[in-house]
Structure formats: C-alpha cells, structure tokens
C-alpha cells in the first residue's frame, strides 16, 4: 500500500510539472488517503503485535 501511495505521489509531481493541475490534485488526494490507511494499519498491527508478544 505504501508503494501505491508513492506511485501516486510521483504521478502527482510529474503531472504538476507538466501543468496538469486537475490530475495532480486528484493524485495527491489519493496518495494522502493511501498513506493514512497505511499508517493506521501499521499502528494497529504494531499494537496487536506488542499485545500478543507479551503473553
């Protein structure tokens, strides 16, 4: 998932350089959303990993 967030970030940067503002804004929004989902899933898995390791 982090890979796809980085891909959309690169797409947004390239689109911004070439002047495609709408595509750049959309790709940036998708990249932000994917990164937040990745971050939430990472934190949940880290918390559950610590909980199960303590038993």
In a domain, 24, yes or no: yes
Q: How confident is the prediction along the chain (55 residues), in pLDDT tens digits per residue?
A: 889 999 999 999 999 999 999 999 999 999 999 999 999 999 999 999 888 876 6
- The encoded tokens of residue 38 equal 């990745």
In a domain, 13, yes or no: yes
- The overall pTM is greater than 0.75: yes
| pLDDT 10s digits, 37-50 | 999 999 999 999 88
Domain count, the chain: 1
Q: Rounded to whole angstroms, how far apart are CA atoms 23 and 2?
A: 20
Long-range contacts of 42-46 (CB under 8 A, 24+ apart): none
Q: What's the CA dihedral at 20, 25, 27, 28 to 10 degrees?
A: 130
Range(s) of the domain holding residue 18: 2-49
Residue 17 in domain: yes
**Residue 55 falls within a domain, yes or no?**
no
């Amino acid at each position: 998932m982090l890979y796809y967030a980085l891909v959309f970030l690169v797409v947004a940067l390239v689109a911004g350089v070439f002047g495609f503002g709408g595509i750049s804004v959309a790709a940036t929004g998708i990249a932000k959303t994917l990164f937040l989902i990745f971050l939430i899933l990472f934190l949940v898995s880290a918390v559950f990993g610590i909980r199960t390791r303590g038993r």
